[in-house]
Chains A and B, each alone.
Chain A
Amino acid sequence: MQLTIITDLNKCVGCKSCQVSCKEHNTGGSFGPVPDQDPYADPDGMWWNRIVGMEGGEYPEADVLYLPKACMHCYDAPCVPVCPTGASFKREDNGVVLVDYDSCIGCQLCMWACPYGVREFDEHQGVVKKCTLCIDRIEDETLAPEDRQPACVQSCPTHARTYGDLDDPDSEVARLVAEQRGFQLLPELGANPAVHYLPRRPVASAVDDSKLDSLLTGRY
């Protein structure tokens, strides 16, 4: 089993709902707090999920893209073997990559090893923190079924995020990746991330170019 989150970039408007709902849950969750330095001065806070905004192309064909970036829960997670204490580990039963704060010594080697820059260091607590896929929600059997998913998936206002088991070919996430040409970030680095993104799928104009040409010359 490999649990994961798929984000459909054809539906992400960059609203940061997922960024905040992550912090909202996790700061009070089992792996919290998710602290903020100088919160009312020049703030520098910890976020386990950050939305990256990008611009591409040239006016007027400019592309604007938003991409939520958190732990990729890689199949071959580079953060795991570099950890000198075994604090950074990948769960065998569901593929979720976690940090055991009790054995983390704060050396931050895992932060250097991570190709995606999604691990953050809590100087006060002396440990590395990151997305847990809301493991304390998905495994909490006292929660209602709709709450047993990552907060960022539940909150997403465009339903751009889908959670599930990528190893189950019948799952929604596996189907989306297969049918919509889901892709990984930086696959060439070999970490084989479980997190995938679905590409933009533009809808073309229904108006025929040659008809337009004749109208423009004839009438307009």
Chain B
Amino acid sequence: MAIRQETVDPTTVPSTRTVHTTCYMCACRCGLEVRVEDNRVRFIKGIAEHPVNKGVWCAKGGAGIMTQYSPARLTTPLMRDPDAPRGQGGLKPVDWDTALATLAGWLGNIRDTDPRRLAYFTGRDQMQAFNGFWAQQFGTPNWAAHGGFCSVNMAAGGMYSVGGSMWEFGWPDLDESRWFLLAGVAEDHPSNPLKLSIAALKDRGGRFVVLNPVKSGYGALADEWVPIRPGTDGALFMAFMHVLVEEGLIDREFLARYTNAAHLVRVAPGSAGDGLFARDAEGQPLVLGPDGRPRPYLEAAGQGALEGEAVLDGQRVRPALALLLDRLKSATPRWAEALTDVPRRTIVRLALEMADAAFNHPVELPIPWTDVYGQHYDTTVGRPVAFHAMRGLAAHTNGFQTIRGLFTLMMLLGAIDRPGGFLYKSPYPKPVPPPVKPAHGPHDYEPKRAASGPILGYPTSPDDLLVDGDRPLRIDESYSWKYPLAAHGAIQNVIRNAHDGIPYPIDTLMVYMANLAWNSTWNTLDTRAMLTAQDEGSGQYRIPHVVVFDAYDSETVQFADLVLPDTTYLERWDATSLLDRPISEPDGPADSIRQPVVPPPPGVAPTADVLIEMANRLRLPRFVDEDGEPLYRNYADFVQGWETEPGSGVGLLAGFRGADGEGELVGEPNPDQLQAYATHRAFWRLHLPPGGRYFRMANRDYLAWAADKKFIREPAPIVLNLYSEPLQTFRLAGQGFWPGQRPSNPHLAARLARYMDPLASWYPPLEDTLPGAEAFPLRILTQRPMTHYHSWGSMNAWLRQLLHENPVFINPVLAQSLSLVDGQWVWVESRLGRMTARVRLSEAVEPGTVWTWNAIAKGPGAWGLHPDAPEATRAVLVNHIIPDVSPLEGPGIFFNNDPVTGQAGWYDTRVRIYPSDVHEVWPKVTAVPPRRPAAVRQPRLAYTTHPDNPHATGAPDLLHHVGTARPTDQ
């Protein structure tokens, strides 16, 4: 036995104590102070000094107590009885020796023969840096987290525009802004940081505009709600830009100095150079100087012409901005009004409002700084106009270009990394796009070897794709001609492709914290059938092994052959990392740890510890030394000891580095680093000097510092991409002119040529272009309530009371036109199928949209709930009717994904609704028996930590639950 988990030993710590750690109830990762009484959690509150939550805590954070004591906890490894069919229960407790030996056997066999046959996909995983490294050392290309479903369009759209993005990578500066547009965000993404920022805006009397088909949550506070037809936000942004350009309200100086707006683009249709930048002999992009002659961009120091044209080497060239202005000419408010349902008058007014804030009310801070051209400024001037957006824009098949449009708008306003605008969070900005590419060589994924590079990254030309001719090399077809910039992978493609053996069969699907058989999938019933499908001849499962790591009994657990029970976030050592999704603030880098607060139930082990044990057993290269001896006993060891490269001085945690614990960002590993964090409220942060906080893409002192700290490789200016040359290389490949890799199938080629547009654009969501789309005239959307953000919550006795059933909300005007009344049962039908729901009338939704809460419905018997719980009997799951594939012409199957990034276009779903005579939730899935029958029938819960309170009736005491084995070798 060998899981060497380090946890709280109740015999050596005081039974009443205060412990600092990091929340995991959603992805915000707030700092928590946990009060423990009698070894049970008494109170969870925010840490006042913490950069993320500054002392506040949300409903989820406080309710963490009930997540800890949920009867949905898995407390022993489980294996499917070989005689029991998969997906129908039949999971039996096994000891850890058996579980680990089984997993090591499967993984060892895969690695020795073909590592690609392991597909490892993770959900709301907060150790992606570790998981990606593990997958790389294993040697499979088939790893990713849940970004393909969530928001890869936002991440990639930002990274390919400004070398940063929203949320973890950048932030609206509402401490200084006068005008704020929130688009496609209502209740989440993120939680406390956005609430704090909105409060700051409100305190200062800033104007708050909310663009969303639904008004709820943050939208309730809008000074103006702008309802919009889903999937058309990009058209609105184009029209805003049209008005700004027409009125001469763009920041020309900013564009010329900090973006590639002045770069000369070769206009040579039908040739290999078309749409690429004109460059000098050293490869420097050229601009037209004030004298009309071409000069290297940096040498021109912001003097490059933004309009006009010239002839260079006999070829016509035009500044990138000129091409954008041509594009914008037809994007009139009238055009956008017809698409968006936003009145023309509103479009023009909002454009003028943002320009008024940006140009008539600049913020001037007494902060001197120097730019990369050597120009010194006595003050820092900002454009106090800010934007934040997330999945409402991202989860459409035009999401990437919509988000390109939003960042382009911000560039025109000069509002990137300036006070009152969008601010980067360390370690961003990175070069555009960040210089990390997925390993893509023909021999990069071979038996018994680590992959030669990272699994995920940012391609800059077709030559970086993972294809062999037209054939994808990844199971999810990321980085293929179909989804070339799939920077977060495409988790939503995995099960169907694995089932179909496209592009090849796999052996083992390993899932960590992802509910792929229920709410983190689409076409749910078919997906569940694919998980249990067998080959007719051999009787073998199409996906031979399914392994699930989770702390809770989700709907996916029942489809596993092997279940490894995880610890909760209050039971283990863990780290948030600058190498992952940072928790930095705009004024400087930050990271944090988790530490064991309470002991875990016997029988569970941290997933990272199990993966390290697997790495040690399989002798994965950078997990063992030359003699094959383990370098890390467990994840706590890894967090402290691992470096990006041996000797790099850069590890998962940036604080308290070096033998003396004094190092920051770069320094030797410190074997006492976690303890140092533990005694510093579990976080570390660094405040950048004021002169290094703004214009960081071109701030001389900041760039020198950032290179020294290894945020970037060299202190070169980061040029914002108004025009994306990398996108153009793909378009050239589609047109047949790229000299390197090109698709041979004409449909793939046409797709690249159509969608890999180097300038921001808008096109209709692909669902709208399918034959018969008009038969489904409405759009259905879901959103997470704040109390269930990131879905965990229904196993929580307190949170589930706040929401456990979900009607579909429709506008009364729509209801009247369909003769529907409040409370009525209806069919909601998409081109894929139909489901029942009850109608609730609401004035706070635009009439073309149907919406409901996401992931409130649960499979009967899952999540430690009674099979008759309202989540199973009165809540509806929209995933059932979200189409997973698109009937597009071309080779094989096209998923319903963005053609640039592979983001799932689940907000594109079109429906019709009509009365139903079925007055219950439909479709149904078979109930599974609850794993703890007594707990789900518990009549009264009255939680206290005082054993002498006679009126207390406790949560199920998992500490004393029967476990078959301890995962430790004590």
Residues of A within 8 A of B (CB): 10-17, 19-21, 23-25, 27-28, 32-45, 47, 55-60, 62-66, 122, 124-125, 146, 151, 154-160, 200-207, 211-212, 215-216, 219-220
Contact = CB atoms under 8 A, between A and B. Distances in A.
B912 interface: no
A31 to B, nearest CB: 11
B195 interface: yes
Contact of B843 (A47, A57, A215): A57
Contacts of B356: 206-207
Contact of A24 (B62, B786, B804): B62
What are the 7 closest A-B residue pairs judged by CB atoms, nearest first?
A33-B942, A41-B866, A35-B942, A157-B195, A62-B843, A39-B797, A158-B199
Contact of B225 (A21, A40, A62, A205): A62
Contacts of A20: 58-60, 62-63, 787, 798-799, 802
B209 to A, nearest CB: 9
A37 B220 contact: no
25 contacts: A10-B202, A10-B221, A13-B198, A15-B58, A17-B58, A21-B62, A27-B944, A28-B43, A33-B943, A37-B940, A38-B938, A39-B938, A40-B71, A40-B869, A40-B937, A59-B813, A59-B844, A62-B843, A124-B940, A158-B198, A159-B199, A200-B221, A202-B223, A212-B352, A220-B344
B196 A36 contact: no
B843 A24 contact: no
Nearest to B219: A64
A205 B205 contact: no
Given A28-B943, A220-B344, A207 B202 contact: no
B348 A212 contact: yes
Contacts of B847: 59
Given A15-B786, A37-B939, A55-B842, A42 B868 contact: yes
B227 interface: yes
A209 to B, nearest CB: 9
What range describes how many residues of B lie at the interface?
35 or more
Interface stretch (B123-131, B210-218, B571-579): B210-218
B824 interface: no
Contacts of B348: 212, 215-216, 220
B43 A24 contact: yes
Nearest to A16: B59
A204 B223 contact: yes
Contacts of A15: 58-59, 191, 195, 217, 786-787
A204 B953 CA distance: 53
A219 B243 CA distance: 10
Nearest to A212: B349
A57 B843 CA distance: 7
Nearest to B874: A42
B846 A60 contact: yes
B394 to A, nearest CB: 21
A16 B802 contact: yes
Interface stretch (B44-52, B300-308, B724-732): B44-52
B865 interface: yes
B17 interface: no
Nearest to A65: B220
Nearest to B786: A15
A41 B869 contact: yes
Contacts of B870: 42
A207 B243 CA distance: 14
A62 B812 CA distance: 12
A12 to B, nearest CB: 8
A13 B55 CA distance: 18
B299 interface: no
Given A35-B951, A155-B56, 9 more contacts: A16-B787, A38-B866, A40-B936, A45-B798, A59-B227, A59-B845, A64-B844, A155-B46, A206-B356
Contacts of B62: 17, 20-21, 23-24, 155
A202 B222 CA distance: 8
B945 A28 contact: yes
B9 to A, nearest CB: 24
B42 interface: yes
B471 interface: no
A158 B191 CA distance: 11
B65 interface: yes
A7 B607 CA distance: 43
A65 to B, nearest CB: 6
B638 interface: no
A10 B202 CA distance: 8
A201 B198 CA distance: 14
B332 interface: yes
A160 B216 CA distance: 17
Contacts of B56: 17, 154-157, 159
A40 B938 CA distance: 7
B345 A157 contact: no
B334 A157 contact: no
B869 A42 contact: yes
A70 B205 CA distance: 28
A57 B949 CA distance: 48
Interface string B861-873: 0001110111000
A102 B207 CA distance: 52
Contacts of B224: 205
Contacts of B942: 27, 32-36, 124
Nearest to A23: B798
A56 to B, nearest CB: 8
A57 B844 CA distance: 9
Contacts of A202: 223
B575 to A, nearest CB: 24
B192 interface: yes
Contacts of B53: 157
B811 interface: yes
Contact of B215 (A16, A64, A154, A204): A64
A145 to B, nearest CB: 11
B329 interface: no
A36 B801 contact: yes
Interface in B185-199: 191-192, 195-196, 198-199
B357 interface: yes
A219 B199 contact: no
A45 B953 CA distance: 14
A46 to B, nearest CB: 9
Contacts of B316: none
A19 B811 CA distance: 29
B846 A155 contact: no
Contacts of A11: 198-199, 202, 221
B191 to A, nearest CB: 7
B205 A13 contact: no
A66 B199 contact: no
Nearest to B333: A220
Interface in B790-809: 797-802, 804
Contact of A43 (B206, B344, B797): B797
Nearest to B206: A203
A37 B866 CA distance: 13
A157 B943 contact: no
B208 interface: yes
A62 B844 contact: yes
Interface in B14-72: 37, 42-46, 48, 53, 55-63, 65, 71
A203 B812 CA distance: 28
Interface in B238-273: 243, 246
A30 to B, nearest CB: 10
B944 A43 contact: no
A30 B289 CA distance: 75
Contact of A60 (B196, B208, B221, B227): B227
A28 to B, nearest CB: 4
Contacts of A27: 942-944
B952 interface: yes
Contact of B936 (A35, A41, A62): A41
B946 interface: yes
A59 B353 contact: no
B770 interface: no
Contacts of B225: 60, 62
